[in-house]
Amino acid sequence: MWNKVYAWLDERLGFNGLYKGLLDRPEPEGNWWNTLGSASLFLFVMQGLTGIFLTVYYTPSPDHAYDSIRYIMNDVAFGWMIRGIHHWGASLMVLVVFIHMVRVFVTASFKYPRELTWLVGVGLLLLTVGMGFTGYLLPWHQQAYWATTVGTRIAGSVPFIGDFILKVLRGGPDLSALTLQRFFSAHIWILPGLLAALIGAHLFLIIKHGESHFPDEED
Ligand code: HEM
């Protein structure tokens, strides 16, 4: 019966073609260093899932942000665990993505025909750091407030357009409810959306070109 359902769906959706194109490939001859890209992907998915749980209780307003985090930590069942995973997962993701990039650099895997994979990767690194930067403000405690004050001021020191960047980031000349609202929006919609799109492009290129071989004595 399931075979019939599968055949019926396959005829209309073309599962087999999708399977052949995406998964039916020779097993890559990698080593542990080749697992870091997949580890980055795993962390992205985990941050997404734990983040969705956190938005159930988190409130992005100066009056309630800190209290909502305290509520998650102290009163919500397993809230401390979900927030802990999200908190430490964020640092781990930056670290793992960075080591993945260093591995790609050391094995010269950015060379022809993988230059685009590398360029998309640069976008992924910037977006990952952007996720950390926007997420850091959300608890709205003193440390978050002042770290973001300094971070946005650094961005504002860019010649000529610095003032404009500062105002776009803060939603005005100072940190306010508007800043928290736009950091929240960037953190849960804009940046993850861009990350998902670029990860899609990254994976497409990786499947297209296959895994590079590690440089040996002949290289
Ligand atoms: C969210 C961040 C990222 C994810 C999810 C991701 C995912 C992956 C995956 C699954 C692979 C294949 C397995 C592997 O070789 O590890 C890979 C390969 C690759 N990645 Fe990334 N990556 C990310 C960030 C980056 C960054 C920051 C760069 C460089 C700036 C980069 C450049 C590359 C290149 C050039 C390859 C091909 C390597 C080869 O063929 O040997 N990636 N990535």
- Residue 216's identity, in one-letter code, is D
Q: How many angstroms is it from 93 CA to the middle of ligand 1?
A: 13
Q: Are 40 and 100 in contact (CB under 8 A)?
A: yes
pLDDT exceeding 70 applies to what percent of the chain?
A: 100
In the predicted model, is pLDDT for residue 129 greater than 90? yes
Give which of 140, 59, 145, 130 is closest to 94, Cα–Cα: 130
Q: Show Cβ contacts of residue 98 under 8 Å, excluding neighbours closer than 6 positions.
A: 125
Q: Which residue CA neighbors atom 5 of ligand 1 most closely?
A: 41
Q: Which residue CA neighbors atom 17 of ligand 1 most closely?
A: 37
* Ligand 1 pocket test target in 202, 213, 216 with most atoms within 8 Å of CB: 202
The Cα 64–Cα 72 span in angstroms is 12
Q: Which residue CA neighbors atom 33 of ligand 1 most closely?
A: 118
Q: Which atom of ligand 1 is nearest to 30's Cα?
A: 15
Say what the pLDDT of residue 130 is: 98
Q: Which residues line ligand 1 (CB under 6 A)?
A: 34, 36-38, 40-41, 44, 97, 100-101, 104, 109-110, 114, 117-118, 121-122, 124-125, 128, 199, 202, 206, 211-212
In the predicted model, is pLDDT for residue 163 greater than 90? yes
Q: Where are the alpha helices (DSSP H) in 56-159?
A: 65-74, 79-106, 115-137, 142-155
Q: Are 198 and 120 in contact (CB under 8 A)?
A: yes
Q: How many angstroms is it from 170 CA to the middle of ligand 1?
A: 32
The Cα 34–Cα 107 span in angstroms is 11
Say what the pLDDT of residue 214 is: 81
Lowest mean pLDDT among 1-5, 73-77, 147-151, 176-180: 1-5
Tell me the pLDDT tens digit for each residue of 33-71: 999 999 999 999 999 999 999 999 999 999 999 999 999
- Average pLDDT (164-169) is 98
Q: Which residue CA neighbors atom 8 of ligand 1 most closely?
A: 37
The Cα 34–Cα 132 span in angstroms is 24
Q: How many angstroms is it from 207 CA to the middle of ligand 1?
A: 11
Q: How many angstroms is it from 69 CA to the middle of ligand 1?
A: 33
How long is the chain? 219
- Residue 62 sits at φ, ψ, to 5 deg, of -55, -30
